Structure 1
Amino acid sequence: MNATRRFRIAAIPADGVGQEVVAAGRQVLDALAAGSGGAFAFDWREFEWGCGYYGRTGRMMASDGLEILKDFDAIYFGAVGWPGVPDHVSLWGLRLAICQNFDQWANVRPVRFLPGVRSPLRKADDTELD
């Protein structure tokens, strides 16, 4: 069955737990698409960028990486960082390079305080936050 809407997703598992998280997340998203009755589907393209790529090439992503990514509907990013690669190299060479060049400044998630549960945001316990 052809999907009504196809989303082109760049998957960048990158390093460490990112490999597992992105793989599992893709399975969930593909199952969701499969159960959508053809409403949507995902066309994935995975990039091997990250600290392993840096070890082979001296770069965290391809030199034209941002140009490649600009045509995707979304970027599914895992995690970046690995022992032996300085944080400023891994972060600025991949994660922050993507965020800043595509004007992605916030990773916003819903937040709610539950009655009787002390929040790790200690100073915000009496603040309306949703």
Structure 2
Amino acid sequence: MKHLSPKEAWTWLQAETERRRALGQEPPLFVDVRMEIESLYVGRPPGVENIPWYEYPDLTPDPERFAQAVAREAGAKDRPLLLICRSGKRTLDAAKALEAAGFTDVQHVLHGFEGELNEHFHRSTLNGWRHDGLPWEQM
């Protein structure tokens, strides 16, 4: 697993997409592992595919189910993957599950979409995708 800052992840995603398209290959699969409601209402990077690591109401990860869902979307276990979550913590477990399931090229976004909490328990003030001014959308 590679650990990329949000800006590194965005640069990598764009370059790898261009490189793979020039070779006639599928671009990297960008996966948001947050619950669907988080992705929709908090915001998300454009072009990301939402495949939750866990979902409401049970909030319990099912690594096998998750890996199968990613495999269906990716089409091949050697397709590059970029994972993002709220703070960069869920993606660590999700990436480990994917590697255990045979995925060979997994990256995750350090600090995630919203970043770490500051001293006032607010996100998007210290680091993260949104803090770094990278493209995002909100429903």
Instruction: Note whether the superposition's TM-score is higher than 0.5.
Output: no
TM-score of the superposed pair, with normalisation by structure 1 = 0.38
Q: Point out the structure with the larger strand share.
A: 1
TM-score of the superposed pair, with normalisation by structure 2 = 0.36
